[in-house]
Structure formats: C-alpha cells, structure tokens
Amino acid sequence: MAIMEVLSNGEAKDSVNELGGLDYLMLLEEANIPRDNLGIFIEKIKQGYTRKMMYEIAENIKNFVMSNRADILNPSEIVGYAEQKITDLNVNSRDTDDVYKMGAETEEVLAERAENPSVVPGLEVGWIEYDRLTNGAQDGDLIIICAPSKTGKSVTLTNWATKLGIYDQLPVLYIDTEMNSREQEDRILSNMTGIPHDEIVSGMYVMDTVNGTANEKVKKLKEAREKLNLGNYYHIYMPQFTIEKVNALVKKFKMQIGIVALFFDYIKIPSNQGTFKDAQEYQKLGFFTSGLKDLAGILKMPVFSACQTNRSDVKTEAPSEADIGGSYRILQLASKLIFLYNKTDERIAKDGFSNGNQSLWIKFQRNGASDCDPINIMFNKCILRQEEC
C-alpha cells in the first residue's frame, strides 16, 4: 500500500495496475526472493517493459508508414518519425527524472575533484581570461552570445567549437541555421591555417601571393585536413528547424556519439511555429530558448547559442538587458549571457590597436561573477579568427 501511495508517475501507476495492482505487489512482498537476486529481477522487469513499449512503437510505425500521412513526407522525414519514437523511449529509460538526496554522493564527488584539481572545472574554449571568469562551460549551462548583426557571433561559436571538437578532439554537434557544411568547413580551414578565407574558396591557395607561397599554403591545408579527420566536430545545416527536430537530433548524437556540447547558431523564430503561430515574437523566442535550456539540463551538457541585439548600430560602453533583441526570457534562461561589440574608432585609438577591435562583456552569470570588465578581442576577418588580446 505504501508503494501505491508514493507512485507519482502516471505511467508507473498504469504499469503496476496492468500487472495486477495491489494484489501483484502483495504477491511480490510475500515471495521469498534472495536480496542478492533482487537487482536481477528489477532489471528483468525494466527489460520486459522496454520490450513491450518497443513492440507498441513498431506497431505505431507500421501503421504510420501505411497511412496517408506518410504519402506527403520525404524519406528523411519518414525515418525521422521512427527515430524520434525510438529516441524518446531510450531517453525515458535512462531515469533522468531521478530525485537526488543532497549529500548522497558528496564524498565521492569531492574526492574525485581532489584527485584532479583544475582552475577551470568546465570545458575550456581556449580564451584564458574568459575561461577563468566563467569557470568554463559546465553541464546544464545555456551560454548565449548577444551581438548586433555581422559582428561575428557565429565566428565566436565556430572558434569555440573548433577548439573543443578539433584541437581537444571532444565530440561536439553544431546545428547551423545559416550556413551549410561546406561553407562552415571553409571557415574552419581558414581559421586553422591562417590562409585568407577567399583564397581557400577560390582555390588561389595554389598560387604564390602576399599571404604565402603555394607550397607553404598547401602544406598548412594538408595538416589542417588531417586534424579535421582526427577531430570530432559534427555539423548539420538546418534552416527549417523546430525545437522538436533539434531535440530528436541532439538526443540521437548524445546516445550514439556521446557529444559533450551543443552549438546552436542561432536563436530566432522557428520555421514551423505550430501552435505558436499566433503568439508574439518574444513568446516564440522564449519558448525556443526554454527548449534549449531544458535540453542542456536533461542531457547534462552545455549548450552554446547566440541571439541578436535589438539594434544593428549599437555602440555602447555598458550593455544591458535592454539590448537583448526579442525576448526578456533569453536573459532569464541563460546561465551565462555575453555581449560582443565592435569597438568604435575612438575606443580603438584610446585602447591601442594591440588591445583588439572588439569587446566581450560577461554581463550575467548564474554561478559566477557578473558585470565583469570587458575582455579585449582581436577579430581578424580575413581568416575568421578571434583571439583574446
């Protein structure tokens, strides 16, 4: 009776009732089951439930494929329907909603940290001052770069993803709503080699130019290509995106490849708005941002993204929440909200050119200092590389 009282999950209640409800539980209680075998019996119950659900999913997919609804879909969408069903079952079977009793794992966690002390406990994007001030990207973080159009927020995300996925060889997924994989890879090659982006795209890297000899550039590209092959940087072009499509894809890569971070470029109104088609812009943006935040928490990994400021001509020495374009919910949901601005000519002259042509402001943080002094960034547009000064 106590077990029936504490069951709060509807599916769990239905499952117990299907097996016989209270009478079933009483029979289990009266059975003489050795404690050493209890774990085996529990796993068998879980396995039986999973097999039952898998059978129901297979029936559902069969009926869907044979229905008129599938006639209007392309092969990718049909496969996507089946994948999402399997992915949802897989994720739901991982007990992501388990309640944690504070203190239950404290001793082990502290001991593990003591064995591997680190100034930056999270994933490092390679910018020393930024990593120090933010403690790196940690599980559950939603890290958002807010910048005017054409400032380089996509370049920032690409620089960070390149560091993690290629140089550190950690598996990362980059969902791009703006550029296809070829365009993105050309940018990465330029960043890694220092060869101007236009030379890589045009093929002029095989010619001697002011940017180096043909032999030098071909050698650099060969080395970069080898690093790309050894890396774990996965990119997908998704101009027609929804939070459901993003969820399904990210869960798939988390389970199959073990990605440690997601990059989503960038937060804007989804192409298929569904029930939100009549909502205000800020509501649509807020709903999608909430979906990214939930994804970071459920899959226990950081999510990097970006959003626009509300004006393209912002020139400020003190960015604030009023500069966030579209939705105040972005501020509420972000674990770390960062502003990126081009410096004015006056500011460059005052700071000195060696101190960069951009400012990065760590404005709001959940677990760290906010309103930090701006970090000087040098943005080399020819090779699409940003570096701390």
Q: pLDDT digit string (tens) for 332-389?
A: 889 999 999 999 999 999 999 999 999 999 999 987 788 889 999 999 999 999 999 9
For the chain, percent of residues with pLDDT exceeding 90 = 49
Q: Tell me which residue of 239, 266, 234 sits closest to 250, measured CA to CA.
A: 234
pLDDT at 96: 47
Amino acid present at 6:
V
Q: pLDDT digit string (tens) for 115-145?
A: 877 778 899 999 999 999 999 999 999 999 9
- Is the confidence at residue 325, as pLDDT, over 80? no
Query: Using the 8-state DSSP alphabet, how is residue 374 labeled?
Result: P
Beta bridge partners of 137: 123
- Domain 122-388: give its CATH architecture: 3-Layer(aba) Sandwich (3.40)
Q: pLDDT digit string (tens) for 150-183?
A: 899 999 999 999 999 999 999 999 999 999 999 9
- Is the confidence at residue 261, as pLDDT, over 80? yes
**Residue 328 neighbours by CB under 8 Å, 6+ apart:** 282, 286, 321
* Residue ranges per structural domain of the chain: 2-92, 122-388
Q: Tell me which residue of 262, 265, 286 sits closest to 276, measured CA to CA.
A: 286
Amino acid present at 362:
I
Q: Tell me which residue of 173, 166, 159 sits closest to 231, measured CA to CA.
A: 166
d(CA 174, CA 236): 6
The DSSP result for 181-234, as a single string, is HHHHHHHHHHHHH---HHHHHHTGGGS-BTTB-HHHHHHHHHHHHHHHHHS-EE
- Is the confidence at residue 278, as pLDDT, over 70? no
pLDDT at 98: 58
d(CA 387, CA 389): 6
